[in-house]
Structure 1
């Protein structure tokens, strides 16, 4: 019996469906009107939805929300019709589980090059992502640089809240990257393709902040020559980030509390209630519990905002991330005259590792940028660093004898403490910075062990 030709196989719809059903990737295809016309077996397994439940439905409705996380070409009023788009998304399955996917969406065209729909291929990488976290193989996440165990825990918290709309409150010292974390929460959430709107509550005069947050109507006050949308309206379907929330005046704390309770507000000078769908993420470098005790912050608002607290560690508590951050900042340096510093010398890096960084990541970035400008060659030396760092070195008290480290004892200490460098340093009787320097200087030797 003669075997069927390739053309005959692909012209048979059932055969083509069998081929697609045996792929490891989930496949979903919809037409220009977003109506789903194909959904393969792997897509069923990943999402938990049966094809009978989604075929013929709008892909923004079939799964309880846009399957693309509001990132595709068909989310706006006018489709963008990008030929190909690749991005990670988080979805909520039919059973309510949050899964992380890598998505590739491709525009489909007919024989006349006319667009007729989109084919999206997606792969479930949830387990791989979890393994990378457990194995501490991550050097960063969603534009945040770090691999220290405390930062990995922050990354885990960000992914944990991705599928929920609960308010998140971020606490961290000045310069730790609170807005980066807030942005990561937004990007990992189901609101990712919608607006992320930040506002610094401490940077605006008290008389203007209500208008900035909630908007105003024409004639509400002198200078209000037209209606204006506030940040909450601009963030509709997305996330609003209220930075330095402790600076919010008491009267506005009441209005914010009412919004969190009811989901609506009135503009300054307005008489109509405005309803918006917004996730609220707040942040401060102050302890809000202490602010509540001092009577400066409403207790009921604190509990509304602090549903999911995330604390960002300062640099002095994650010194192992300093080399990563330095390399990142060096990679961002502009090329002038065809060259730029390609690395930082060991002595200069040791200084950066020992310094306490009261300004945290922002101060470290400034120091590296200063050194790039000051550096005359391709290596940054101690004399290229800012004065306060050199002053810090000269003022440091002289130390007594320091225990000499060797690869064997360091390896044994790390094994004993399960890789925890801070505890290993205590076992070895040295400071953490000393251990970090040893590991950096003997990386090849430690790998051989």
Structure 2
């Protein structure tokens, strides 16, 4: 009997499709190798556990027939379902679920067979054929972001992404574009905060020959380049008032003129905007037009800072270390103390700061093993203060003096004040009168 079961398991492990079996109490009794590959979970992690607990939510999504009591009647089911694997990567799978019965015909469990789906699930909506949007995370707040991406992708209204610097706003914008009906059109990004006011309008709307010194030929702007696709306006809160007015008109009338031109140009563009500023506060302060704010923020997405999803830090660290791995070197890894330090840090620069910190630490760790002292000084300093006792209390006068002493260098000012850089940044953000 044992030999027969081993033979059956070997057969199921050789299948290219995932196979999952659970009893009427949702306890997982079988999980083949393809299921491990598709979900990222090992059978040792999930077998014997409640299906919902093992995966953090119903694996079958809203179609789950065992969310409450076992069903009284059963018929085979086939449907697509969206899942998030162990590394936080969104996927769509095609599921076929069959009831398992005993000799008397009584339902004793189900057998689910599934494979990754590459084609559109419904007309006009294509879920990404790629296994990832380059977004890592399984925290509930990130799972909610994934759901928001799928939701707003089905519409064609403006999307506004709010999030601190380094949280991955452009990744979200690209994911929305890829999942939308405009996926075959261009995705054109522009950083509104990186361009001088005199250049910004020409970049957005283009210009005609002779419009200004140096305009030696007609030039298309980003709106024309994005026609039929998506225009991503990053740091939209930095737009000067005059450009805000012109952008509002484009959103209202779908037309614009090139700088120095007289001909109206019609464009078919979806706008996705993003900012690390609180635009509602900018409106209340008179620095951003309220009518433009409401035009842009039809479909809002809010990204959580890394400090509010610390459980994702080990996943992200593993991802970045794998990406930095060299073929002639052993796989880099973190010591437990280094990982605890990363978990304790406040991450004002969010995911981007974590990636940079690990790249720095790898240069310090000659043997590929990252220890606490290999991490950047501001991370070590901030977490060290947390263990030694209360941090020094910052005052406006002390911070102003430190900034004057260091010529405005915030990292050096933080060291002078005896606090971590993140602590100083938080103080400066709360007290904007400090210059």
Structure 2: how far apart are the matches of 1:269 and 1:87?
50
1:228 aligns with 2:229: no
Query: Could you say what secondary structure the match of 1:203 adopts?
Result: coil
The offset of 1:288, in angstroms, is: 0.7
8 Å contact kept, 2:229–2:268? yes
- 1:326 corresponds to which residue? 317
Q: 3-state DSSP class of the match of 1:226? A: coil
Measured against aligned partners, the alpha-carbon deviations of 1:315-371 in whole angstroms (never above 9, x if no partner) come to 0000000001001100111517x1054321111001000101011011100110011
- Maintained 8 Å contact 1:90/1:188: no
How far apart are residue 202 of structure 1 and its match? Answer: 0.7
Shift of 1:393: 2.8
**Alignment partner of 1:147 out of 119, 138, 145:** 138
Residues 186, 100 of structure 1: alpha-carbon distance in 2 compared, 3 angstrom cutoff: closer
Write the mapping of 1:307-318 to structure 2, written as runs, cut at 5 A: 307-318=298-309
Cα deviation 1:401-431 (Å, max 9, x = unaligned)? xxxxxxxxxxxxxxxxxxxxxxxxxxxxxxx
Is this contact kept in 1: 2:128–2:179, CA < 8 A? no
1:188 maps to which of 179, 192, 198: 179
TM-fit CA distance, 1:99:
6.6
> Cα RMSD over matched residues?
2.4
- 1:301 corresponding residue in structure 2: 292
SS at match of 2:161: strand
2:378 matched to 1:388? Answer: yes
State TM-score, norm by structure 1. 0.59
| Cross-structure match for 1:248 | 239
Question: Shift of residue 264 of structure 1?
Answer: 1.1
CA distance in 2, matches of 1:183, 1:99: 14
Alpha-carbon distance in 2 for matches of 1:100, 1:206: 38
1:378 aligns with 2:341: no
Does residue 335 of the first structure (1) align with residue 326 of the second (2)? yes
| Structure 1 position 267 matched with structure 2 position 254 | no
The aligned counterpart of 2:152 is 161
Alignment partners' CA distance in 1, 2:305 and 2:249: 33
Q: Deviations over 1:95-142 (max 9, x none)?
A: x8x574869xxxxxxxxxxxxxxxxxxxxxxxxxxxxxxxxxxxx841
Give how far 1:207 is off.
Answer: 0.4
Label 1:312 to 1:89 Cα distance change in 2 as closer, same or farther (>3 A).
farther
- Could you tell me how far 1:396 is from its partner in structure 2? 1.5
How many pairs align?
A: 278
Residue 310 of structure 1: SS of its match in structure 2? strand
Deviation at 1:394?
Answer: 2.4
2:338 aligned to 348, 354, 367, which one? Answer: 348
1:209 corresponds to: 200
Measure the CA separation in 1 of the matches of 2:242 and 2:126: 41
Unaligned stretches of 5+ in structure 2?
A: 1-77, 80-115, 391-435
Distance 1:236 1:274 in 2: 11
